[in-house]
Structure 1
């Protein structure tokens, strides 16, 4: 056997091995995709991020906000407004399924029904799913895999070229917030590239597009830049994470209401 033949044979063997590996790693069910999405968050014990949110009206920026977003396992979330000045100091605090809003100007807390909020109006709530002690937002839906890596998406006739999974969740309980959820999930990071929410009548509520993703811990990825669009396709907001820090040992008192004793 000549050296050329040996090299050719070795190259073909490598191609076969790589093909077999790719096939073995391919996920064949929607539940498998959801499991990988959940596994992506397991290395995060706490998170502290500063972000800029731009709201749009008729294609122009109508409001710019700077926010600090903090998470602490298993079930605590805090959002504090930093800018503009008239909102600075206002914050939202979520512990488990309870939520409070603090209005700095009058130094008063108000309890809010968390069930009344949705990621359609509050995209930052998406990151609450990093918390292990809260109910999975997909628990009230039955998911199916519409297209896998390299399959043809029959709805928009686009080939995904092996880079994402398209899954769809349909409400199966009365507790479901939406009628239907569609996700296009990156096959490497398992962060959704796109997320579309529909009401119970099938009307599109909001489309969330993730434009940038960052590895924030070992094999743990997070969205860095997001955009939301309304039912007409008009851009409504852009969310950019200016900095993200994970597993820094956040002080638990950050998640205590001001009038509460720190050991509550």
Structure 2
């Protein structure tokens, strides 16, 4: 399958997002990706069987940081013909940091990284629309990778994990909740996105290798009203679901939803 669509990836060296990128390139779809260290991303893709020819013809890597609006704009717009990305996949996240606190034992190296990334993507798109008003006719969708344990509707974490999710991980989860709110607020008819999807996987295990997952037939899917409750899910399975359900297709059936995924 080939496509003239352009998919923009943020956090592409992360397991779930990297797996989704591998599936995207294998399908002949063009992509752009932001990377602080492009060589790291290239090595990860080559290790999964993506050829250098495919990288040269289908992938544009922008060296930069999620804090840089110009770098984000370069990812969202094709450098060849200034075509705006049709899909945005954001798996940006921080590294966990332990601290001496009984109340909040786990924080992040950047406690607001998810919210900041989303705010900056929104700002970058707003600037693009101001500079090229015609591009606003074809707004991209966005998918962000969040986590279970955030629902205000019903419990979506197994009993044995509730202390971990609701107490130990309070700091990173606060960041995810702000990110989710930003996606919802900017996915209206006046927003910068034509639609938004939030994926809430259960505890992530494994790496990005697409051969290492259990396969989509083993993935349980729910939403905020009827969550799929489980203990873990392989990163490769999350990446495959993202590709099959929101990149390979338009993904409109998931717009506005907080999708829970578990094995």
Higher helix proportion:
2
TM-score under structure 2 normalisation?
A: 0.30
Larger RCO, structures 1/2 (Cα 8 Å, 6+ apart): 2
Report the structure number with the largest CA radius of gyration: 1
Q: TM-score, normalised by structure 1?
A: 0.30
| Structure with greater strand share of residues | 1
